Amino acid sequence: MNLAMLKPGEHGKITKIGAIGQIKRRLMDMGVLVGEKVKVEKIAPLGDPIEVTIKNYNLSLRKKEAEGISVEVAK
């Protein structure tokens, strides 16, 4: 299960960040960390990117990046 598979309104908990190097550092700098809770808010009108809430703020990222973030669905 990865972040791109969550539907708007669904919550998840990050289990692994697959990216490496600059992208990984950037994600971590923005608070995308293992163990963090994340909620998918919206999908952009054209289908990509997505908007998530993490660490109490709103972050947008492309599905391609979201696919590299493994999550487990939280209820």
Partner 1 sequence: MRTQSTLDRAQSANNPPQSPLKLRGDKRGVTVAVAGNPNSGKSTLINAIAGTRLYVGNWPGVTVEKKSAMFEHEGRRIKLIDLPGTYSLSPYTQEEIIARDYLVKEKPDVIINVVDATNIERNLYLTVQLLELGIPLVIALNIYDEAEHMGYKINIKAMEEMLGVKVVPTVATKKSGLDELLKAATEVADNPSRYQPKQLNYGEDIESAAVSVQGHIRERYPSLNNKYPLRWLAFKLMEGDSHDMEEVSLNIDASFFEKATAHLKKAHGDDIESIMADERYALATGLTREVVKRPEVRKMQITEKIDRVVLNRFLGIPIFLAAMWVVFKLTFDISKPLGDWINDATAGPISRMAAKAITAVNGPLWIASLTTEGVIAGVGFVLAFVPVIFAMMFFITFLEGSGYMARAAFVMDRAMHSMGLHGKSFIPMLLGFGCNVPGIYATRTLENPRDKALTALLLPLMSCGARLPVYVVFIGAFFSAYAGTVLWSMYVMGIALAILMGVLFKRTLFRGESPMFIMELPPYRMPSFRSLMMHTWEKGKHFLIKAGTYIFAVSILVWFLLNLPWGVEHKKDSYLGKMGQIIAPALEPIGFGNWEAASSLVTGLIAKEIVIGSMAEIYAVEQEEEETTTVSEDLREMGTTFITAIGDSFRNVFATIGIASISAEEDAEQTGLKSVIQKKFTPLTAYAFMAFVLLYMPCVVVAFAMKHEFGGWKWFGVAFAYQMFLAWGVALLIYQGGRLLGIG
Q: How far is the CB of 58 from partner 1 (least distance, A)?
A: 4
Shorter beta-carbon distance to partner 1: residue 60 or 70: 60
Q: How far is the CB of 24 from partner 1 (least distance, A)?
A: 6
The 3-state DSSP composition of the chain as helix, strand, coil percent (nearest 5) reads 25, 40, 35
Q: Which residues bind partner 1 (CB under 8 A)?
A: 17, 22-31, 33-34, 41-49, 51, 55-62, 65
Q: How far apart are CA 34 and CA 27, in angstroms?
A: 11
Shorter beta-carbon distance to partner 1: residue 4 or 65: 65
Whether the Cβ atoms of residue 74 and residue 11 lie closer than 8 Å to each other: yes
